[in-house]
Amino acid sequence: MKLKKKYKKELIKSLKTLAFTEHELLETMTNLMLLKELKKNDITFEKGDTFSFEDNIFDYSEDKNIRKLAKLRRKMIKTMGKLVDGTEFKDKEIEFLA
């Protein structure tokens, strides 16, 4: 029983790391687009402006590196889902994924 708890704890730790990395990847992709494509098209934002987009915006980027990062991020999210589906977690244990 103790080994099962330790296994589950390590899996949760891995999921937390993946979730953090996925978020950082999303920020990086957004920053790359802002630095390159929005600048190239002379799109500017004023203080207080907001920018919203659909997740698939990265798939249409002119920058192949952004498209590759988007593909990696989708694979990470899919893998995280499979890890969660394959294990009996309580909602409280994985609420950080919401």
- pLDDT tens-digit readout, 13-58: 999 999 999 999 999 998 898 888 777 777 777 888 887 778 889 9
59-63 contacts at long range (C-beta below 8 A, 24 or more positions apart): 61/33, 61/37, 62/37, 63/32, 63/33, 63/36, 63/37
24 Cβ contact partners less than 8 Å away, ≥ 6 residues apart: none
DSSP 90: -
The model's pTM: 0.78
- For 36, other C-beta atoms within 10 Å of its C-beta total 15
Average pLDDT over the chain, rounded to an integer: 87
Amino acid at 22: E
> What's the confidence (pLDDT) of residue 3?
78
